[in-house]
Amino acid sequence: MTTTKRKPARRGKKSSPAAKAPRPGRRPPFAAEPPLQQGLLEMATIGAQSFLWLATVVASVAALAGAAFGIWSLRPLPAYSSERVRVGSPFEVTFRIENASAWFPLSHLKIRCALAGVDASDMPPVEADGSKIPARLGPGEQASFTCPFRAGDLDVALRSELYFRSEYDLPVLGSLRLSDNGGPFVLNTRLLPPRWTAKPGKD
């Protein structure tokens, strides 16, 4: 009787670490999101900075506008008045101009006289005779001028309104010119002797 030799059972070989299937690489952990309170605080800080910047811009613009308005309000302005009308044409009268500014002079003043009314087309605007007006009319100073209209009777004058269109240098910046419209003025026969005065209800 023959006996069969059993082959000794082979022990399974342990697989080496290199033989193991590589594990998928681990992803780096996500950055932790800031807490809600911290996010709100950051948003509030950004909003406060934006509001402060906007408020600064608005305040700066308002300050510049206020300064510009203040300087503009100090600009020199001419004020007109009439001496009494003597015998002859009511337009042959001497007018006076005063620098109403307390700060700046009226420099290189030019005046143009104009009439409005039913007879205005017959008496076109004329350049005033400003030979007695100095090149620089200081604050509060006065000078005289005339409007060389052609002769007209009293009825024409009573139906007319007189205007003065003036031009003069802008203070500090002499290369720029300012303009001013004075009037209307009407012949006031209630005064004795009559004078050209500002029309009632007008500045």
Which of the residue ranges 32-41, 80-89, 124-133, 152-161 would you say has the lowest mean pLDDT? 32-41
Does the structure show a pLDDT above 60 at 14?
no
Establish if 29 belongs to a structural domain: no
Establish if 28 belongs to a structural domain: no
Which residue range(s) make up the domain with 107?
78-188
pLDDT at 39: 73
Measured CA distances, 153 to 90, 117, 120 (Å) = 7, 14, 13
| 192 vs 82, higher pLDDT | 82
Averaged over 160-187, what is the pLDDT?
Answer: 90
| Structural contact between residues 77 and 180, judged by C-beta atoms closer than 8 angstroms | yes
Alpha carbons 184 and 160: distance in angstroms, whole number: 9
Q: How many domains is the chain partitioned into structurally?
A: 1
HEC string for 76-111: CCEEEEECCCCCCCCCCCEEEEEECCCCCCEECCEE
Establish if 166 belongs to a structural domain: yes
Establish if 2 belongs to a structural domain: no
Strands of the sheet with 142-146, listed across from one edge: 78-82, 94-99, 142-146
| 198 vs 38, higher pLDDT | 198
Establish if 25 belongs to a structural domain: no
pLDDT at 185: 97
Considering the entire predicted model, what is its pTM? Answer: 0.65
Instruction: Identify which of 43-52, 72-81, 85-94 has the greatest average pLDDT.
Output: 85-94
Residues 6+ apart with CB under 8 A from 57: none
| 142 vs 13, higher pLDDT | 142
Does the structure show a pLDDT above 60 at 83?
yes
Establish if 90 belongs to a structural domain: yes
pLDDT band at residue 146, thresholds of 50, 70 and 90?
very high
pLDDT at 134: 96
Q: What are phi and psi of 30, to 5 degrees?
A: -65, 145
Establish if 33 belongs to a structural domain: no
Q: What are phi and psi of 11, to 5 degrees?
A: -75, 135
Task: Provide the token pair at 114.
Answer: 């104009």
pLDDT at 198: 95
Q: What is the CATH number of the domain that holds 84?
A: 2.60.40
- Percentage helix, strand, coil for the chain under 3-state DSSP, each rounded to 5: 25, 30, 50
pLDDT one-digit tens code per residue, 21-68: 555 555 555 555 556 777 777 777 887 777 777 777 777 777 666 655
Return the residue matching tokens 């800080």.
45
Return the residue matching tokens 């337009």.
91
